[in-house]
Structure 1
Amino acid sequence: MKKISILLTLVLTFTFAGGFYAGIAYIEAKSIKINPDFHHSRSADMKLTTKEVPEKNTASSKVLMGYVQDYHDPDKTEYNHLSHVIFSFAHPSKNGDLLMSGDYARENLRKTVRLAHEQNTKVLLAVGGWFHISGGESYPYFKQAISNGTARTKLVDELIKMVKQESLDGVDIDFEHPRSQDDAEHLAGFIRELNTKLEVLDKELSIAVYSKVDSVTGQENKSVIFLPSMFEDVDYVNIMAYDGHWDGGYNAANLSPYPYTENVVRYWSELFDVHGLPKDKLVLGVPFYAQPEEPSKSAISYSAVIKKGVENAGKDTVTIEGITYHYNGKDTIQRKTELALNNEFGGMMLWEAGHDARGEHSLTKAISDVLTKTAEKEKNMFWAVQ
C-alpha cells in the first residue's frame, strides 16, 4: 500500500502498459453556526466479499478524491473524473459500534460502489465528520471510542466488516479534531490498528486533517494536535484547506483564498520534509461551495452560483439577491492544483462532489484537466531523456 514515486510509476506504466483525489479551531467555532451541507460534516437531524481494487480511471498518477454526502443521489456524481469517491459519513458510537443514517444511506453506498467501480473509481467510507447522528458534535463519541482499547478494537472490526460486505476500497478517518496530546496518541493508535488490518486486505486508508494554519496570521494553529508518526500508517492525508474564516471570527472572504492555501501547502510540505515523510501522501482540499458575507444567511453550492450566470465560473465572488458570496472559481481551483503539484503533493481533494456544476463549468473537470495535462508533460519529459 505504500506509494510509488512518480518516476517509478511512469517506468512501470510505460513498460507494462505501453504508455499510458473544515478544519475548525474549537474555541472560536463553538459560537458560530455551521451549515452541515457545506462543511466536512453532515446534518445532525438526518434519520437514523472483498473486491479486487480497480486501477485508477485517469492517466495521471495523482489522485482526485471527492467527498459525497450519503443523501445525495449517486446517479448525479460524475465518477469519470475522480480517482476516489469518499462516501460520507458513518458515525462511531462511544462503545465502538458503527452507525449509518438509515437504510437510504446503505442503499446509496451500495449504488455508489456499483457506479464508481464501473468507472474504475475507488470508494472509501468516511467515518466521523463534525456532526454526529445522535446529535451535537461527533468529537466526544469518536474520542471515547478510540480512547478505550475494547471500543477501539470493536470500531476497527466494524469497519473491516463493512469494507468486506460492501466491496469498499478502503476507509477515510475524519476525527474532528484531536485537541490534546492524549487525543493525538489515541488517534495514532487507532490508525495503526486499522491500517494493519486493511493492509492484509490490500485496502487503502486516508485521514482528513485540519489545515493547521490560521487564515489571518498565516501561523500554525496549535489547538489541534497530530503525531507526525501517525502519517506513516496512512496512504493519503486529505488537508481540509478551507473554512479559514473560522480563525478569529467569521469572515467569508477567508473561505479559502489563494494566499491562505499557499501558507497551508508550505506548512505541510515543511512538516513532511522535517519528518522524512513522502509528500505524495499529501492531498490538497478545495471547497465547492460559496460562503455569504452575512453570517445569518446559508452557504450555497458552486452549482447554484453557476446557475445565476456562467460567467461566475471565472470569479471568486458574486452578489446574489443583495448578498455577496465568496468561493473558488475555476481559475483559482486550477492555480491551487498547480500549487499542489509543484510542491510534490499526491493530488487533490474536494468537498464536496454534490455541490459541483455539471458540464464545461465543472470544477472537478477543471482539476482533472490540470492533472492530466501535467501527467502528459511528465511523460514527454521522461521520454525526452531516454
Structure 2
Amino acid sequence: MKRQALLTFIVLIFIISGGIICYFQKQKEVQNRVEKVAKLVFENIVVKDYGKAIVEENEIYIPVELIRNYIDSDLELSDDKKRVYINISDKNLELEDKSLTKFVVENGVKINLLTKIEDNIVYIPGKLTSKIFNIDINYIETTKVVTVDRFTEEIKFGKIKEDTVLKLKNNKFSFTIDKLFKNEKVRVFKEYKDWYEVRNKVGHLGFVQRKYIDEFTKKISFNNKLNTKREDFDKSKKINITWEYVYERTPDIKNEDKIDGLDVVSPTWFKISKNGVVINNADINYVKEAHKKGYKIWGVVNNGFDPNITTNILNNEKLKNKVIAQIAFYASLYDLNGINIDFENIYYEDKSAFVKFVEDLTRILKKQNLIVSIDITVPGGSKRWSKVYDREKLAKIVDYIALMAYDEHWATSPKSGSVASIGWVERGIVKTLESVPKEKLLLGVPFYTRIWKETVDENGKIKVTSKAIPIKNVKKIIEENDAVVVWDSKAGQYFATYKKDSAVYKIWIEDAESIKLKLKLAHKYGLKGIASWRKGYEYEEIWEVIKMIKDDKKLL
C-alpha cells in the first residue's frame, strides 16, 4: 500500500513538473509569437492576414486591404495593382482655402497613388494618406510594431496604479505578454467584468486586471488641414530650374549633393488622360529631400501630347474643372511650390480654350499661393506645335514662361543638324520677346544632343535617322569611334563626325562651351533665368557654367 502511494506521488510529481515545464515553454512561445507576428496592429486587432507594414525613413506603407476592410471599403485598385484610387469628395478634409476645399469636393475628385507591391501584398503610403483616412500611424522601433488608429473625438486611456502584467486572456492563469509599470499609460479598448483590454506603449495587446488601472478619457483634436498657403516666391532674383523626367517611379536624390545655384526642380509627375483622370506619379520623399537641399518643387502637368484628349478636356467645363481640382489637390498633398504646365501638340482650333484653361487653373492655384509656369516652343509655322500658343495672353496669366529652345532638328528630321544652334536660339528669343516680357522669360537649354546616322540607299538617296543621347555620354562616343571634332562657329558648337559600317555619323555637340554661349544670350536680352531639359543628362561642369546666370559679370 505504501509502495503504491509512493508510486502515485512520484507520478503526480512528474505530471506537475511536466505541466510547469510545459507552461513555461508555452509562455515563452507566446512571447516569441508576439515578437514575430504582432508587427501590424489596427487599434485592438493584430493584423496577420495582410503581411507586415513596410517601414522606410520617411514613410510607413500599410496594406491596402487593411484600409479597405477597416476604414474605406470604396478603395479601388488598377488591374495591375500598381495604382490605388481614392474618392476624396466624401472625406473630411480642408485644403489651404475654404473656397478651394469646396471646389475640390464639388467636382467629385478621385485621386490615384502609386502602390508598393511586395510578396504579392499591395501597400499604400500610410503617412501621406493619414489625413485623407483620418488615421494616426506610429512605428515603435523597440518592438518593430506599427500601430494604426482611427481618430475619434474621445479616446479612453488608463494609468497603471502599480506594477503588474499584461495577460494574453482575461484570467489570472493566462500567459503573460509583457510587464506593466506604475504610472505607465495604456490605451483602453474594451471592458470586461474585472478586466480591461488594453494596448501598451510598445504596441502589445492584452488584458490587465481592472484593479490595477485608473481609467480616464482624453479629448483628441484632429487637424484635418492638408496644407497651408506657401510663402511668397522671390521674383526679384534670376532663377535656375531643371526638369526631372519621371516615367513612373521617381529617382532617390537623398545621397545626391546639392547642386549649387539650382533653385527649382520640376518633376514630370502628372499626366492628363481620358475622362479627365490625372495620372499621378508624385513622390513625397522626393519633395522632402528636395526641400532639405533648398530646392523648390514645381510639379509638371502634361497633356500626354495627345490633341484628342486635350480638346475633350478644354471644351468640357465639367472635365476641365475635374482636372483642375485634381492638380490643386496633388499640389496640396505633396506640398508643391508650383505647377509647370507642359501642354504640347494641341489643335489650333483650341488656342482660345487653352488660354481659358490656363487662366482657370492659375486662379485656383493662386489660392495656394503657388507659382505657375508654362512651357512654349520657339515661334514657328506649325499650328499644333507653335501657333497654338497665344503667347501674349498666356504671359499675362502665368508667373514664368519657359522657352523650349531646342529640337531645331527634331528626332525624325529629314536633315541632320543641331538640336539648338546659337543663331536659331537667338532668333527664337527675339521673336518670343515680341509677346512675352523678359521679366517672365526663362531660356530652355538642352542637356541632350542627337547622333545622326546617314546612309545611302540603292537609289543614291541619303537616308537620315537619329538617336537622342545625354551630353555626358558624348565624350565616350567620340573616343570610342576616333571621331574628328572641329568647332562650328555658325552653330556655336563643336561638330563631330565618323564613319562606321558604311554609314556616316554626325554630332553637333552640346557642352559647357555651347551652353555658355546660350547663357550670354540670356544675359544680353535680360531674361529671368535658365530652364534645362533634363536633369541627369549633364556632367558636373555644366552646372558651374549655368550658375553664371546668377552672376552676369562672369559671362562677359
After TM superposition, the score normalised by the length of structure 1 is 0.70
Q: Give the % identical residues.
A: 21
Larger radius of gyration: 2
Cα 1:299–1:197 shift into 2, 3 Å: same
Give CA-to-partner distance per residue, 1:186-232, whole Å, 9 cap, x none.
1111111111111121101111111123xxxxxx5555322221221
Cα 1:244–1:186 shift into 2, 3 Å: same
2:223 is the alignment partner of 1:50: no
Cα 1:115–1:96 shift into 2, 3 Å: same
Q: Which residue of 2 is the match for residue 110 of structure 1? A: 284
2:409 is the alignment partner of 1:245: yes
Question: 379, 389, 414: which one pairs with 1:226?
Answer: 389
Q: Which residue of 2 is the match for residue 293 of structure 1? A: 452
Distance across 2 between alignment mates of 1:95 and 1:162: 18
Q: Which residue of 1 is the match for residue 137 of structure 2? A: none
Cα 1:365–1:170 shift into 2, 3 Å: same
Distance across 2 between alignment mates of 1:171 and 1:329: 29
2:359 is the alignment partner of 1:192: yes
Cα 1:248–1:352 shift into 2, 3 Å: closer
Aligned length: 303
Q: Which residue of 2 is the match for residue 261 of structure 1? A: 425
Q: CA deviation at 1:126?
A: 0.8
Alignment of 1:338-357 (within 5 A): 338-357=520-539
Cα 1:53–1:119 shift into 2, 3 Å: farther
Q: Which residue of 1 is the match for residue 252 of structure 2? A: 74
Higher strand share: 2
Q: Which residue of 2 is the match for residue 95 of structure 1? A: 275
Q: Secondary structure at the match of 1:364?
A: helix
**Unaligned stretches of 5+ residues in structure 1:** 1-46, 214-219, 273-277, 379-386
Q: Name the amino acid aligned to 1:163.
A: A
Distance across 1 between alignment mates of 2:533 and 2:338: 18
Q: CA deviation at 1:97?
A: 1.6
Distance across 1 between alignment mates of 2:233 and 2:321: 31
Give CA-to-partner distance per residue, 1:158-196, whole Å, 9 cap, x none.
00000000000111111113331x311111111111111
Distance across 1 between alignment mates of 2:308 and 2:544: 37
Q: Secondary structure at the match of 2:379?
A: coil
**Unaligned stretches of 5+ residues in structure 2:** 1-81, 84-225, 454-463, 488-492
Q: CA deviation at 1:337?
A: 1.2
Q: CA deviation at 1:74?
A: 3.5
Distance across 2 between alignment mates of 1:56 and 1:120: 13
Q: CA deviation at 1:95?
A: 2.3
Distance across 1 between alignment mates of 2:301 and 2:515: 26
Distance across 2 between alignment mates of 1:353 and 1:60: 25
Please tell me the root mean square deviation across aligned C-alpha atoms, in Å.
3.3
For the Cα contact (< 8 Å) 1:245–1:253, is it kept in 2?
yes
Question: 486, 496, 499: which one pairs with 1:318?
Answer: 496
Cα 1:79–1:249 shift into 2, 3 Å: same
Q: CA deviation at 1:309?
A: 7.1
Q: CA deviation at 1:284?
A: 0.8
Distance across 2 between alignment mates of 1:307 and 1:327: 12
For the Cα contact (< 8 Å) 2:232–2:369, is it kept in 1?
no
Q: CA deviation at 1:303?
A: 1.4
Distance across 2 between alignment mates of 1:186 and 1:82: 34
For the Cα contact (< 8 Å) 1:292–1:325, is it kept in 2?
yes
After TM superposition, the score normalised by the length of structure 2 is 0.50
Q: Name the amino acid aligned to 1:371.
A: I
Cα 1:113–1:232 shift into 2, 3 Å: same
Distance across 1 between alignment mates of 2:227 and 2:476: 41
Give CA-to-partner distance per residue, 1:313-370, whole Å, 9 cap, x none.
x95333578432223221121111121122121111111012111x3x2x233111x1
Q: Name the amino acid aligned to 1:305.
A: V
2:310 is the alignment partner of 1:142: yes
The answer to which structure, 1 or 2, has the higher relative contact order (CA under 8 A, 6+ apart) is 1
